[in-house]
Amino acid sequence: MPRHNASFDVVREIGLELPDVEVSSTWGSPALKVRGKLLACVAIHKSAEPGSLVVRIDLGQRAALLADAPGTYYVTDHYGPYPAVLVRLSQISKDQLRDLLRSAWRFVTAKQSRTFSRVPANTSAAVRRRR
């Protein structure tokens, strides 16, 4: 596969095209967040290859990406339990990155919608009826 010159600057540019995305940091690493929730960040754990990006996605989609393009996408034991995939930025095109970040945005925002629509179990019946 041809090498690409994607960097976090390109990730930032694409990410900021999506609604409610902001530039932030996590563990001292450049990151993109949606309404305060992590969307993607530069991978800093020692198990990740240099030049990798962590992107939050559904575990089923991760499995498909790993099967379809193992030269671009990978996961380490550290990231395995999390709904995320590692991306070799040198191996992904701008269009592929755009599609991946859109999928990640849908995953993160769908998860937030489910969280915000829930009423805590310890809420009184009168409060639950008002909601």
Please list the alpha-helical segments (H only) found in 53-93: 59-68
On whether the CB atoms of residues 100 and 88 are closer than 8 A, the answer is: no
| Res. 131: pLDDT tops 60 | no
CATH for 8-130, among 3.40.50.2000, 1.10.40.50, 2.40.340.10, 3.90.1150.30? 3.90.1150.30
> What pLDDT score does 111 carry?
65
**What pLDDT shows up at residue 119?**
38
Residue spans of the domains in the chain: they are 8-130
Instruction: Give residue-wise pLDDT tens across range 29-68.
Output: 999 999 999 999 999 999 999 999 999 999 999 999 999 9
Number of residues that this document lists for the chain: 131
pLDDT digits (tens, 9 = 90+) for 66-120: 999 999 999 999 999 999 999 999 999 999 999 999 999 999 999 666 544 333 4
What's the pTM value of the predicted model, to 2 decimals? 0.82
pLDDT of residue 125: 39
What is the SS3 assignment for 73? Answer: strand
pLDDT of residue 61: 97
- 27 contact partners, CB below 8 Å, separation of at least 6: 41, 44
Q: How far apart are CA 80 and CA 99, in angstroms?
A: 22
Is 38 in a helix, a strand, or coil?
A: strand
Q: How many CB atoms lie within 10 A of CB 85?
A: 27
